């Protein structure tokens, strides 16, 4: 992502308000375009289905569960795959990286199909055309999982507008198909229409990836997976616990406070689900700031430090290290102020944001609490990225476990009446503890960063 940030910074430095607005808009689209388009698409589809059928909870639950469990179950593999691809591209082995992409699509795709078939054949959905609903739900879960893997590889191609166009086209197709098929087939038509839109995105992204770099060495995927799981197991565990950390309170509320979807094994807790759904958009400007300003600045300082480490005197190394850590400290402070001002402004608008949904469904207080949680989540996420750069994998793992454990504990205590039930409190508490730990850990370990690098290079 640092490469994206450098391109956007060039646009900003050309001067003028127009350049700044163009770079800011491009940053939002590149960093969070697919995310933003997905949310817009889901919102439109939900309204279409509600208007035509009078209630689309059966379709909506398939969408929410697909996104949630695709990350919870396979988030660890996503980080392992990212590391493999990064290393192969550093060695200029683009075709082999593309081959590993084929392997991970097959691995995760088969697992996703097996799990979704087992789940959707375990109950009889209350629809007229059962096969259509099941097919749509299974294709949706499979497609979402494939898209996650493809997006890791595809952003490395730097063809951002084309990627965004593919996503926009797929979401647009989904909206059109949902409108047409819901009118004729009801909920099952909506589900398969939404799934086909995602399948189109997956297919076009795969075509772009494999025409850009022809796959080679697909069979070496097992070797890479075993090697990297052994070498970077903490990275895998971090991805697993981090994704659980951001979903655990939602899952707990589904099964302790949620409303059952008739005829299924699913539950939803809409007063909280919808608040999270809208509040998470608040993270987008902060992530753009991180990519354009914080990450690029850190990358420049890190390169200078590493060059000094190989050629400079001890005094020069220590000075560069101080500058590097000072830059991290300054970036964290600046992005915190930026995201904090945005968060406070949105908190004042919470009553208006709540008005987007059915009257009384989402409380403004819940939105405000979740906005605070999003702010802390943003801090812990961006500081975790610094840990990845420094290769402080044990700290990143501990951060994700703290986030998960605190969020889970507080949410369970609230659900069972041992704490006042205020949805989002666990998310806030977990994000706060994770952010504080991440901040303290990076500066504590950063003081001996050069010794860790020298120890690795000497095989100690």
- pLDDT number for residue 36: 66
With respect to residue 266, please indicate whether it lies within any of the assigned structural domains: no
pLDDT tens digits, 203-246: 999 998 888 888 888 888 899 999 999 999 999 999 999 999 99
Indicate if 66 and 177 belong to the same structural domain.
yes
Do residue 148 and residue 206 come from a single domain?
yes
Kindly state whether residue 215 falls inside one of the protein's structural domains. Answer: yes
Average pLDDT, rounded, for the chain: 83
Same domain for 205 and 129:
yes
Is residue 314 classed as helix, strand or coil in its secondary structure? helix
Q: Is residue 269, in this structure, part of any structural domain at all? A: no
Does residue 191 sit in the same domain as residue 92? yes
Q: Are residues 194 and 290 in the same domain?
A: no
pLDDT in tens, 375-398: 999 999 999 988 888 888 899 999
What residues are paired with 260 via a beta bridge?
267
Q: Which of 171, 202, 231 is the last residue of a domain?
A: 231
**Are both 223 and 328 inside the same structural domain?**
no
pTM: 0.88
* Residue 124 and residue 21 share a domain: yes
CA distance 58 to 265: 11
CA distance 364 to 297: 37
pLDDT of residue 450: 58
Give yes or no: residues 432 and 306 share one domain.
yes
Q: Is 13 inside a domain boundary?
A: yes
Flag whether pLDDT at 12 surpasses 80: no
| β-strands 259-260, 267-268 pairing | antiparallel
Question: What is residue 455's predicted lDDT score, i.e. its pLDDT?
Answer: 52
Q: Where would I find the H helices in 54-93? A: 57-90
Is-contact 371 357, C-beta < 8 A? Answer: no
Going from the C-alpha of 93 to that of each of 107, 153, 222, 261, the distances in angstroms are: 21, 13, 17, 48
Residues 312 and 177 in one domain: no
pLDDT at 63 over 60: yes
Q: Is 309 among the domain residues?
A: yes
Q: Which two tokens stand for residue 268?
A: 């939803």
Domain boundary among 231, 252, 270: 231
- Per residue in 248-277, pLDDT tens? 999 999 999 988 888 888 998 988 988 888
Q: Into how many domains does the chain fold?
A: 2
Lowest-confidence region among 78-92, 130-144, 270-284, 290-304: 290-304
Same domain, yes or no: 77 and 215: yes
| Structure confidence at residue 454 (pLDDT) | 52
> In this predicted structure, what is the pLDDT of residue 318?
78
Question: Residue 290 — pLDDT band, cuts 50, 70, 90?
Answer: confident
For residue 431, give its domain range.
Answer: 279-448
Whether residue 304 is found in the same domain as residue 380 = yes
Mean pLDDT of 333-352: 91
For residue 135, the tally of other CB atoms under 10 A from its CB is: 17
* Mean pLDDT value of segment 152-167: 74
Listed residues 168, 197, 231: the one ending a domain: 231
Residue with tokens 């959707």: 120
Secondary structure class of 339 (helix, strand, coil): helix
Percent of the chain with pLDDT over 70: 85
Residue 363 token pair: 């409380």
Distance CA 347, CA 150 (A): 35
């Amino acid at each position: 992502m640092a490469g994206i940030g450098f391109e956007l910074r060039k646009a900003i430095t050309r001067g003028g308000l127009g350049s700044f607005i163009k770079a800011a808009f491009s940053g939002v689209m590149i960093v969070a375009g697919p995310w933003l388009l997905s949310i817009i698409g889901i919102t439109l589809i939900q309204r279409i289905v509600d208007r035509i059928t009078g209630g689309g909870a059966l379709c909506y639950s398939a969408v929410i569960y697909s996104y949630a469990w695709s990350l919870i179950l396979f988030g660890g593999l996503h980080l392992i795959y990212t590391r493999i691809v990064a290393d192969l591209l550093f060695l200029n082995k683009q075709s082999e990286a593309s081959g590993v992409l084929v392997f991970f699509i097959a691995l995760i795709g088969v697992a996703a199909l097996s799990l979704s078939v087992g789940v959707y054949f375990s109950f009889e959905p209350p629809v007229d055309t059962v096969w259509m609903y099941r097919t749509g739900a299974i294709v949706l879960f499979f497609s979402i999982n494939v898209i996650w893997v493809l997006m890791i590889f595809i952003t490395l191609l730097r063809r951002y507008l084309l990627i965004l166009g593919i996503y926009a086209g797929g979401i647009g197709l989904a909206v059109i198909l949902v409108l047409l098929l819901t009118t004729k087939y009801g909920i099952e038509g909506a589900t398969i229409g939404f799934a086909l839109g995602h399948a189109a995105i997956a297919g076009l992204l795969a075509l772009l990836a494999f025409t850009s770099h022809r796959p080679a060495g697909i069979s070496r995927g097992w070797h890479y997976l075993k090697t990297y799981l052994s070498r970077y197991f903490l990275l895998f565990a971090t991805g697993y616990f981090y994704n659980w950390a951001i979903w655990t309170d939602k899952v707990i509320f589904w099964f302790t406070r949620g409303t059952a979807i008739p005829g299924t094994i699913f539950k939803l807790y809409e007063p909280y689900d919808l608040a999270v759904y809208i509040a998470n958009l608040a993270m987008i400007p902060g992530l753009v700031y991180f990519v354009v300003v914080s990450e690029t600045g850190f990358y420049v300082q890190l390169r200078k430090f590493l060059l000094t480490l190989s050629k400079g005197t001890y005094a020069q190394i220590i000075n560069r290290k101080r500058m590097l850590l000072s830059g991290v400290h300054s970036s964290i402070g600046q992005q915190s102020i930026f995201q904090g001002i945005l968060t406070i402004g949105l908190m004042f608008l919470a009553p208006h944001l709540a008005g987007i949904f059915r009257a009384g469904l989402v409380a403004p207080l819940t939105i405000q609490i979740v906005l605070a949680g999003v702010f802390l989540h943003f801090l812990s996420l961006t500081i975790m990225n610094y840990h990845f750069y420094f290769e402080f994998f044990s700290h990143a793992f501990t951060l994700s476990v703290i986030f998960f454990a605190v969020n889970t504990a507080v949410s369970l205590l609230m659900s069972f009446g041992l704490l006042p039930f205020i949805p989002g409190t666990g998310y806030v508490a977990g994000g706060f503890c994770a952010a504080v730990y991440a901040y303290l850990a990076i500066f504590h370990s950063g003081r001996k960063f050069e010794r860790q690098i020298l120890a690795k290079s000497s095989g100690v």
